[in-house]
Amino acid sequence: MLKENYRLYNGVKIPKIALGTWQISDSDVIGTVNNAISIGYRHIDTAVQYENERGIGQAVKECGVARNELFVTTKIPHDVKSYEGAKQTIEDSLNRMGLEYLDLVLIHSPKPWEELFAGSDKTYFEENLAVWKAMTEAYQSGKVRAIGVSNFEISDIQNLIDHSNVKPMVNQIRVHIGHMPTEIINYCQTNDILVEAFSPNATGKLIGNPAIEALADKYGVSVPQLSIRYDLQLGLLPLPKSTSKDHMKQNAELDFEISDKDMTILGKVEEIQSL
Ligand SMILES: NC(=O)c1ccc[n+]([C@@H]2O[C@H](COP(=O)([O-])OP(=O)(O)OC[C@H]3O[C@@H](n4cnc5c(N)ncnc54)[C@H](OP(=O)(O)O)[C@@H]3O)[C@@H](O)[C@H]2O)c1
């Protein structure tokens, strides 16, 4: 599975499973990413806000795998909402990582976290367009191979589609067993925007859930294997995070098929909070 790719609508290949790196420190992440790459992971997901870009850049340079075989994603912070701010953020990420280009840059959130989590209906359409302009320029100059968004609702994406010549290639959103935002997934898939599934294990909360464990047992796999396989069978790109080499290895052993009946059961699991 680690050798398989999706293809973004602009033709760029993107490895089907990424290593998530949220809540891994800048010093620890060096060893974690080196372990992941030694197992065969080729796709690393970070963000300015994870404060570990420097360590990831170091691992990418030291790991012994050619840069063009690796796929590195970062994200423009929730509160950077201007053209100049976004332009500077991309330069800063490149410098911190010591890389000549990034594979994917996302807008981390359509609005500042406080407003997103409070469910505010205030939109940042103009501001996101300004950020998108800086990203589009970085994309067209070759500093970034693909651009996209994260935590975006349909109206936030439609705003970019309606007012820009470059459609987002990716929307990274929370999707896991017990949290299935069908409407936005369908919208993205209809518009050829790849959906990346963050927190595929609900930040660990899926593990130990008796009903999900019972289904995993049926296939002779762990809950994380079931949840990652579930995302893949929906055409999504899962970003499991692990600091354990054994877990990382296990999370890529996905040579089983969840039946249609069990996919339906998993799609109807009651809401599970991740944070
Ligand atoms: N765009 C956004 O706003 C956003 C938000 C949240 C997350 N993300 C991205 O999505 C990534 C993943 O989400 P997440 O960090 O919430 O975590 P997650 O992948 O849902 O869950 C991680 C937890 O699962 C455990 N785990 C993983 N594989 C396991 C296995 N095989 N057996 C037992 N336990 C296992 C990990 O522990 P061990 O370390 O011990 O394996 C860790 O405690 C993030 O790291 C980040 O890159 C993006």
Side chain identity, residue 192: D
Q: Is the pLDDT of residue 13 over 80?
A: yes
Residue 247 placed within a domain: yes
CA nearest to 143, candidates 85, 74, 82: 74
d(Cα 100, Cα 137) in Å, to the nearest integer?
15
Q: Is residue 134 part of a domain?
A: yes
| Confidence (pLDDT) at 222 | 97
128 lines ligand 1 (CB under 6 A): no
Please indicate whether residue 239, judged by its CB atom, sits closer than 6 Å to ligand 1: yes
50 is catalytic: yes
Supply the pTM of this predicted model: 0.98
Could you tell me what percent of the chain has a pLDDT over 70? Answer: 100
CA–CA separation, 53 vs 57, rounded Å? 6
Query: What's the 159 CA to ligand 1 centre distance in angstroms?
Result: 30
Range of the domain at 131: 5-267
Q: At what angle do helices 154-163 and 125-141 cross, to 10 degrees?
A: 60
- Cβ–ligand 1 distance for 74 under 6 Å, the answer no
Residue 120 has pLDDT above 80, yes or no: yes
Query: Alpha-carbon Rg of the chain, whole angstroms?
Result: 18
Q: Is residue 272 part of a domain?
A: no
Predicted confidence at residue 274, as pLDDT, reads 75
Token pair of 49, please? 């806000």
pLDDT in tens, 234-267: 999 999 999 999 999 999 999 999 999 999 999 9
Beta-sheet strand order (sheet of 237-238): 19-20, 43-45, 71-76, 104-107, 147-150, 170-174, 194-198, 237-238
Ligand 1 centre and the CA of 28: distance in Å?
15
List 6's β-bridge partners, or say none. Answer: 14
20 lines ligand 1 (CB under 6 A): yes
- Mutate-to-test residue for ligand 1 from 75, 196, 201, highest number of ligand atoms within 8 A of CB: 201
Most ligand 1 atoms within 8 A of CB, residue of 48, 79, 198 to mutate: 198
> Cα(253)–Cα(244) distance, rounded to whole angstroms?
15
Other C-beta atoms closer than 10 Å to the C-beta of 143 total 18
* 216 belongs to a structural domain: yes
Inside any domain, residue 273: no
- pLDDT, the chain, mean: 97
Look at ligand 1, atom 25, and give the residue with the nearest C-alpha.
204
Residue 146 pLDDT = 98
| CB 171 near ligand 1, within 6 Å | no
> Is 275 part of any domain?
no
Label residue 275 by pLDDT band (50, 70, 90).
low
- Provide the number of structural domains found in the chain: 1
Could you tell me if residue 274 is inside a domain?
A: no
CATH number for the domain including 99? Answer: 3.20.20.100
Q: Is 81 helix (H, G, I), strand (E, B) or coil?
A: coil
